[in-house]
Amino acid sequence: MSSKLYVGNLTYSVRDDDLVQQFSAFGQVQSAKVMMERDTGRSKGFGFVEMSNSQEAEAAIQGLHGKNMGGRDLTVNIARPMEARPPRSGGFGGGYDGNRGGNY
């Protein structure tokens, strides 16, 4: 069974292929994805790598966590399931009241 890893503190120039290259030294990479901003296309500075089994994932954590890649020390650990977030509401946040604090 494959194991998914979170990879953080990436430089903005790192791409999927760069992750594959780094992690393949520790086993078979099933997938690698750098998360990108939807609007700008710029990296968010983190991504996910899926290794073919938990032993390879553990080897990658031991080998790469805290190691320098492109001038930054990587954060590598087992990815946690994404937490459900409430839907984003549109409009203005904060409830502005235009008639505050004055006697008219």
Q: What is the pLDDT of residue 99?
A: 55
Alpha-carbon distances, residue 18 vs 11, 24, 29, 90, 102 (angstroms): 11, 10, 12, 37, 59
pLDDT means per 10 residues, the chain with 104 residues, are 94 96 97 96 96 97 96 96 77 54 54
AA identity, residue 53: N
Q: What is the pLDDT of residue 81?
A: 84
Is pTM beyond 0.95? Reply is no
Structural domains in the chain, CATH included, are 3-78 (3.30.70.330)
CB 45 within 8 A of CB 9: yes
Q: DSSP letter string over 18-57?
A: HHHHHHGGGS-EEEEEEEE-TTT--EEEEEEEEESSHHHH
